[in-house]
Chain A
Amino acid sequence: MSDSMRSVLAFGIMALLLVAVGVIQSWSLSLTILNLCIISAVMSLGVNIQWGFAGLFNAGIMGFAALGGVTAVILSVSPVGAAWSAGGFGIVGAFFVVLAAVAGVIMVQRYFHDQSRSRLLITTAFLLFAFIIYRMVLDPAVEAIEAVEPAKTGFLGGFGLPIVLSWGVAAFVAAGVAWIIGKIALGLRSDYLAIATLGISEIIVSVLKNEDWLTRGVKNVNGLPRPVPYEIDIQESEFYRDIATSIGIPIVDLSSIIVKLSYTCLFLIVLVIVFLLAERAVRSPWGRMMRAIRDNEVSSSAMGKNITARHLQVFVLGSAVIGIAGAMLTTLDGQFTPGSYQPLRFTFLIWIMVIVGGSGNNLGSILGGFVVWFIWIEAEPIGQQVMNLITSNMADGSAIKAQLVESASHIRLIMMGVILLLVLRFRPQGMLPESRSQ
């Protein structure tokens, strides 16, 4: 079977599954799954750029997704004037302290060329000093900001711009942070990158959870502005009422389907753009160079390729794509909940998508995103059904039955692990393998 046949077949089956959910469960649910499938696909495209093209193990996907999410919040919510006048000055001041500290450290590094002990001591002392000043400037400002109507705002708010803009900005934010991380971690041994990124993603999420002045922390930001119409407006419009009566479904269902479809269209546009760019990249001389580096670093280095610089480049690009997906996710949710960022869901699940779909193949990553997200969501109801079937013969009061039924929702973790292990063992190239023709 040719590669393109295989892709068409796989995506056809996937579409049939989504239609089946629509028929059996509900169309609204089917669209919800589809929307998250598309976001997952964008995310796994980002990871594929890093892992599939360049063989970089990024275990910090969660952090970049969260950065995308917070960008969506900061760009879209309206500014809180009272908070700005209460503590805006201090926040800006603290920002300049950070800038000065960075400049100072760079100057110290320039002044002492050697790796001497005195350079280390001076850097440490300087950083400690800068940190104390920073806290002295920041702390009162934070306190003032968080005191402004803590139940409603208690944070600086944002820029009040259309939320769709944040998808592009998120790419730059994630790319910027990835550049800093890459500068530190990419020079190290390859398996340290995984641990470094794992750590940094935890730090990013804990900052978002605790810096209430910026993100409201665990109090969450609800009711983000939407790029698509609200259900209530659709329900009140004469035009849609007529459509609803003519096709014979309740207006409430129709409005929710229209909203979800609008999201689907927006997300599809992003997915197609990212996919086309990634395909372009992988087929270009640059893509060939990346594969050469991935497959043999020593020989590529001998050919005069700068491995660390190329790795940094691809790490930044991939992270930018993950940032976009993170912003899309927050847009879809309409709220930002830092507590919901879990590494199992946001880092390792995406990994499974890329590997199951086919590392190195962009279409494969998209397919992986669809299939794995579908299983992740549908495992719970199916697991529940299976458990009910298994336990149907047992006595109603038995502890084992209660335990089995109650634990059915945890089965999806086991299932995901087993799928990953099976694919790695029996089909390491994934569902749609990387084409080796060129």
Chain B
Amino acid sequence: MEFLNAMAILANYVIVPGLAYGSQLALGALGVTLVYGVLRFSNFAHGETMSMGAMFAILFLWLFKSMGVSIAPLPTVLLALVPAIICAAVYILITDRVVYRFYRIQKAVPTILVVVSTGIMFVTNGLIRFVIGPDDRSIGDGARFVMKAREFKNWTGLDVGIAIKTSQVITVITAVVLVVALFWFLEKTKTGKSMRAYADNENLALLSGIDPEKVVRITWLLVAVLATVAGTLYGLDKSYKPFTFLQLLLPIFASAIIGGIGSPLGAIVGGFIVAFSEILITFAFKGFFTRLVPDDFAPEGLVQLLSTDYKFAVSFAILVIVLIIMPTGIFKGRTL
């Protein structure tokens, strides 16, 4: 019984939030990895792209609410995702046409493109603050919990509850659907194959008659979808604050690099590695161990490796360790 209780603690505080956070990171890292694979630069503006997508979702959410549209018990923001993705895609394609394309034609070195992307980051960040302001926004509505802690306790008779938020279930399901769709697209469709070919060997792809501009457009479209969904899900799960997305950039890059940047599968695995390590290393294991060991051995302290304030440090530490041990990431050499 005590063992089950301890497991329930682990499930409630580590596994459930870890799965949700990992899915959000994986979606973010997929976007970074796609840009890196096809356009060959580290996109520092990706966090802001996510923020932009989430902002559009919130604007449409407000519109739908004012019109009285609702898809209860699901949060209305899911409905707002569709127009939000379209708006984000238009925004990204405009930035590509106005800014990135020039450097692509010039064949500028990747570092210049990184600097260019910080310029885009500034503009996007400013636009977001201009439109929606820097405040905290809550975007969830509908049923808050799929399973409440009390219901779980009554149902199983354990004295530790597991609470599962609607947003967590939606996050994981959406992420799975999106990832399956993305892999199907990359592996099975002609456009997807041409994208992979272009990422693998640009010149050979050009010789085979693949239109590079089309490949780039499709990539940005996929990035828009991934970023909007990732940003909105993160906002739904926690809350939407424009400045958090600059901080998210670090765990997202860590996920992408740990998995092997350029590899979609790696991005997903990396996302979950980062999410679970962040949670495990900052989790206070006191309750867990107290239930597992005899009372005499129960720990006095919190049994917490690092305080939660160092969450971002963890993702970075893992990044450094992975880079030292295997510099190309876990799935090395496998591109799109």
**Chain A residues within 8 Å of B, Cβ to Cβ:** 55, 57, 59, 120, 131, 139, 184, 188-192, 194-196, 198-200, 202-203, 206-207, 209-210, 343-344, 348, 351-352, 355, 406-407, 410-418, 420-421, 424-425, 428
Would you give the 0/1 interface string for B108-130, flagging 1 where the beta carbon is closer than 8 Å to chain A? 00111011101111111111011
In the bound complex, what is the Cα–Cα distance between A139 and B325 (angstroms)? Answer: 31
13 new A-B contacts at CB < 8 Å, known A139-B301, A344-B246, A413-B122: A57-B115, A131-B305, A190-B110, A198-B253, A199-B250, A199-B254, A199-B315, A199-B319, A202-B250, A407-B131, A417-B123, A418-B119, A428-B112
Chain B residue at smallest Cβ distance from A55: B111
Question: Across the interface, which residues of A come within 8 angstroms of B325, CB to CB?
Answer: 120
Asked if A355 and B126 sit within 8 Å, CB to CB, the answer is: no
State whether A355 and B111 are in contact (beta carbons under 8 Å apart), knowing that A203-B316, A417-B121 are contacts in the complex. Answer: no
B309 interface hit (Cβ, 8 Å):
yes
9 A-B pairs (CB sep. < 8 Å): A57-B111, A139-B301, A189-B327, A210-B307, A351-B115, A351-B118, A413-B123, A414-B127, A421-B119
Residues of B in contact, count (CB < 8 Å): 48
**Residue from the set A344, A352, A355, A417 with the largest chain B CB neighbour count within 10 Å:** A417
In the bound complex, what is the Cα–Cα distance between A421 and B129 (angstroms)? Answer: 19
Question: Across the interface, which residues of B come within 8 angstroms of A120, CB to CB?
Answer: 325
Question: Across the interface, which residues of B come within 8 angstroms of A190, CB to CB?
Answer: 110-111
Chain A residue at smallest Cβ distance from B41: A191
Please list the 9 inter-chain residue pairs (A to B) with the smallest Cβ-Cβ separation, ordered nearest first. Answer: A417-B122, A413-B126, A414-B126, A417-B123, A199-B316, A410-B129, A420-B119, A421-B119, A210-B309
In the bound complex, what is the Cα–Cα distance between A195 and B312 (angstroms)? Answer: 13
In the bound complex, what is the Cα–Cα distance between A202 and B47 (angstroms)? Answer: 15
Chain A residue at smallest Cβ distance from B249: A198
State whether A192 and B126 are in contact (beta carbons under 8 Å apart), knowing that A198-B249, A424-B112 are contacts in the complex. Answer: no
Question: Across the interface, which residues of A come within 8 angstroms of B316, CB to CB?
Answer: 199-200, 202-203
Asked if B250 and A184 sit within 8 Å, CB to CB, the answer is: no
Chain A residue at smallest Cβ distance from B320: A184
In the bound complex, what is the Cα–Cα distance between A55 and B111 (angstroms)? Answer: 9
B218 interface hit (Cβ, 8 Å):
no
CB distance from A354 to the nearest CB of B (A): 10
In the bound complex, what is the Cα–Cα distance between A194 and B111 (angstroms)? Answer: 9
Within 8 A of A (CB), among B284-336: 301, 305, 307, 309-310, 312-313, 315-316, 319-320, 323-325, 327
Chain B residue at smallest Cβ distance from A204: B313
Within 8 A of A (CB), among B239-262: 246-247, 249-250, 253-254, 257
B157 interface hit (Cβ, 8 Å):
no
Q: Which of A196, A202, A414, A424 contacts B130 (CB 8 A)?
A: A414
CB distance from B20 to the nearest CB of A (A): 23
B42 interface hit (Cβ, 8 Å):
yes
Question: Across the interface, which residues of A come within 8 angstroms of B83, CB to CB?
Answer: none
B133 interface hit (Cβ, 8 Å):
yes
